[in-house]
Amino acid sequence: MSPDNRAPFVVAHRGASAAKQEHTLAAYELALQEGADGLECDVRLTRDGHLVCVHDRTVDRTSSGTGLVSEMTLEELQQLDFGGDDDAAAVLTLSELITLVLDWRSRPIKLFVETKHPVRYGGLVENKLLAELQRFGIASPPSAAHSRAVVMSFAATAVWRIRRSAPLLPTVLLGDSSVYLGGGAATTVGATAVGPSVKTLRDHPDLVDRAAAAGRATYCWTVDDADDVKLCRELGVSWIATNHPGRTKAMLAEL
Ligand code: G3P
Ligand code: CA
């Protein structure tokens, strides 16, 4: 149990993505209405240098079109429908998502931005991301706790680049191996939190205490099962990412 006995904060993974098509404005709005404390998104660069919220390398699974995000302009992406079985929806830009987060007045929301393809583009994504956070005035928070943005990546290099350029921004080093997360990579790159999958956490519950001993929080993904929510609560995980933010908030309130 965490020392202050606080329930984990709930992060909506790609929005309330069990109920709505992932990475759409509708999915994120529903997550906020359901009480999510934070929103998670994946970002990719378009050919003309815009950051858009798309998980896969291609748009094939989540839109009406086909092709690589990195080979399409924003205008081309905007011709596609990302709404799936829901109402039609345009591709969501990072800028639109940040605007939603900062405009949500009833409580402060944190945005967890995961950078994809960090190695291939040699830091371009991180630079664009930092420029975008600076434009909104959220790249240099007064403290990690008060930051409105958290940058995450599976690539240690990406976390390292962010720490070097924006040392006050909180970061999460994601991974699916306790050896990687607990074995010094997070220390080397200066990540403020480690991000194990829920399977890794089940297999290595000591990860949370080990991270805390090194001054790091834990962000666990993707936690949709009631037993896993309970486990995260008991272990003192700080943030849990889920496709069911409303249900998860309700589960935590019962524990
Ligand atoms: O929140 C981290 C998690 O999203 C990582 O996995 O594949 O869903 O981006 P993925
Ligand atoms: Ca992600």
- Distance from the alpha carbon of residue 139 to the mean position of ligand 1, in angstroms: 22
Name the residue with the closest Cα to ligand 1, atom 7.
Answer: 55
Active site residue 117: no
- Whether residue 1 is contained in a domain is answered as no
- Whether residue 208 is contained in a domain is answered as no
* Cβ proximity of 46 and 73 under 8 Å: yes
Whether pTM > 0.90 for this model: the answer is yes
Per-residue model confidence (pLDDT) at position 3: 41
CATH number of residue 185's parent domain: 3.20.20.190
Per-residue model confidence (pLDDT) at position 121: 64
Active site residue 55: yes
Tens-digit pLDDT profile for the chain (255 aa)?
444 578 999 999 999 999 999 999 999 999 999 999 999 999 999 999 999 999 999 999 999 999 999 999 999 999 999 999 999 999 999 999 999 999 999 999 999 999 986 556 668 899 999 999 999 999 999 998 899 999 999 999 999 999 999 999 999 999 988 888 887 889 899 999 999 999 999 999 999 999 999 999 999 999 999 999 999 999 999 999 999 999 999 999 999
* Burial track 38-71 (b if 16+ CB lie within 10 A, e otherwise): bbbbbbbbbeeebbbbbbeebbeebbebeeebee
Strand pairing partners for 77?
none
- Whether residue 222 is contained in a domain is answered as no
**Domains in the chain, number:** 1
Name which of 137, 193, 173 is nearest 9 in CA terms.
193
Range of the domain at 105: 14-193
Q: Are strands 171-175 and 149-153 parallel, antiparallel or unpaired?
A: parallel
* Cβ proximity of 173 and 189 under 8 Å: yes
Per-residue model confidence (pLDDT) at position 2: 44
Name the residue with the closest Cα to ligand 1, atom 10.
Answer: 55
ipTM of model over 0.95: yes
